[in-house]
Amino acid sequence: MSQRVSLTQYLVEQQREHGLIPAQLRLLIEVVARACKRISISVNKGALGGVLGSADTENVQGEVQKKLDVIANEVLIEANEWGGHLAAMASEEMDTIYVVPNRFPQGEYLLMFDPLDGSSNIDVNVSIGTIFSVMKKPENGCGVEEQDFLQPGSQQVAAGYCVYGPQTTLVLTVGNGVAMFTLDREQGSWVLTQENVQIPADTKEFAINMSNMRHWAPPVKRYIDECLAGKEGARGKDFNMRWIASMVADVHRILTRGGVFMYPWDKREPNKPGKLRLMYEANPMAFLVEQAGGAATNGLQRILDIQPGQLHERVAVVLGSKNEVERVTAYHREDAAL
């Protein structure tokens, strides 16, 4: 029988071999993984657990919250606030940062999360997920404030997501490649099921919400038109399209078999750079994708180099197979130079 490697064992070995995971960071990752296990149980219960439907509240971005958005947010906070590994947390579902209450010890890490990604898919039983990003609090004396979170994604020390699909899978990077762990429900443990995940540089699959086509900028339209033209067009090959509308599930497919994912700026809300949020959606996914040999830009610039100005800042996203991301980015640069 091949030997099963648990998440704990993987993290301990990463620390021994590469010195990447101090004890506090290991605790943090294990606590997040435990919280994801709890969220997974709620997701699986569905209507039996009374977790479907709307919470009838709005988050800071003006989106109506689903019950599971709120539940997942609470699970992550409760799990993480007391362990002493964190200084503060930030979430899609909270207007401002959540500083660890002073009845608990404060650690040196900052945790950001999208507690439930793909909310529109909850009630229809399609894959959804949790995304997280970890940075260190800058050494600037005592206290912690929103400004401490506003570091470029290149400063992340760990990032990952959990996808609640036919299997529950945790995908993680600590800056030494990407590893996947599958939840063994009977044992209640995370088992390493793939290491050194690599995204092929070329692909014939793209993911974009095609219903927004009439609102796109010319470089996006040009790229997708070429894909749609297939063998007879400039690309000389047929493309396939997938759009799950849960970023976690779309990125998981790309980490598994390649592809390009785009949520570009569009004319619907011209003052917003895009729909997705930089700190807890684009940055962690960009870190994972780059660690798997892919690329991630906002059309013009590497996502991990963007200096954030606000906690809930939005960003255009192009990520996945390197050669396709470079092509889309080149089209944007050509357009910007006109």
Q: Which positions touch Mn ion (CB under 5 A)? A: 92, 114, 116-117
Cα 71 to chain center, whole Å? 19
List 245, 313, 323, 333, residue binding ligand AHG (CB under 6 A):
245
Two tokens, residue 108: 């040196």
Place of tokens 């954030």: 308
Two tokens, residue 288: 């994972």
Which of ligand AHG, Mn ion, none is residue 30 near (CB under 5 to 8 Å by kind)?
A: none
Which of Mn ion, ligand AHG, none is residue 316 near (CB under 5 to 8 Å by kind)?
A: none
Alpha-carbon span 266 to 220, nearest angstrom = 10
Of 11 and 51, nearer to Mn ion (C-beta) is: 51
Of 94 and 150, nearer to Mn ion (C-beta) is: 94
List 246, 283, 291, 321, residue binding ligand AHG (CB under 6 A):
246
Smallest gap from Cβ 312 to Mn ion, in A, equals 12
- Angstrom distances, CA of residue 1 to CA of 21, 188, 193: 29, 20, 14
94 near ligand AHG (CB under 6 A): no
Of 248 and 328, nearer to Mn ion (C-beta) is: 248
List 73, 85, 114, 259, residue binding ligand AHG (CB under 6 A):
114
Smallest gap from Cβ 115 to Mn ion, in A, equals 6
Which window, 43-51, 220-228, 240-248, 265-273, contacts ligand AHG (CB under 6 A)? 240-248
Which window, 26-34, 112-120, 151-159, 196-204, contacts ligand AHG (CB under 6 A)? 112-120
209 near ligand AHG (CB under 6 A): yes
Which of Mn ion, ligand AHG, none is residue 123 near (CB under 5 to 8 Å by kind)?
A: none
* Three-class secondary structure assignment of the chain: CCCCCEHHHHHHHHHHHHCCCCHHHHHHHHHHHHHHHHHHHHHHHHHHHCCCCEEEEECCCCCEEEHHHHHHHHHHHHHHCCCCCEEEEEECCCCCCEECCCCCCCCCEEEEEEEEECHHHCCCCCCEEEEEEEEECCCCCCCCCHHHHCCCHHHCCEEEEEEECCCEEEEEECCCCEEEEEEECCCCEEEEEECCCCCCCCCCEEECCHHHHHHECHHHHHHHHHHHHHHHCCCCCCCEECCCCCHHHHHHHHHHHCCEEEECCECCCCCCCCCEEHHHHHHHHHHHHHHCCCEEECCCCEHHHCCCCCCCCEECEEEECHHHHHHHHHHHHHHHHC
Of 219 and 250, nearer to Mn ion (C-beta) is: 250
Which window, 114-122, 139-147, 162-170, 225-233, contacts ligand AHG (CB under 6 A)? 114-122
Q: Which of 244, 317, 253 is nearest to 286 (CA)?
A: 317
Of 119 and 329, nearer to ligand AHG (C-beta) is: 119
Alpha-carbon span 151 to 170, nearest angstrom = 25
List 79, 109, 117, 289, residue binding ligand AHG (CB under 6 A):
117
Smallest gap from Cβ 44 to ligand AHG, in A, equals 18
Looking at residues 32 to 71 of the shown chain, list those that interact with ligand AHG (rule: CB under 6 A).
Answer: 63
Of 266 and 324, nearer to ligand AHG (C-beta) is: 266
Using CB atoms, what's the residue nearest to Mn ion?
Answer: 117
With CB under 6 A, what is the number of residues at the site for ligand AHG? 13
Which window, 183-191, 221-229, 241-249, 293-301, contacts ligand AHG (CB under 6 A)? 241-249
List residues near ligand AHG by CB under 6 A.
63, 92, 114, 117-120, 209, 245-247, 263, 275
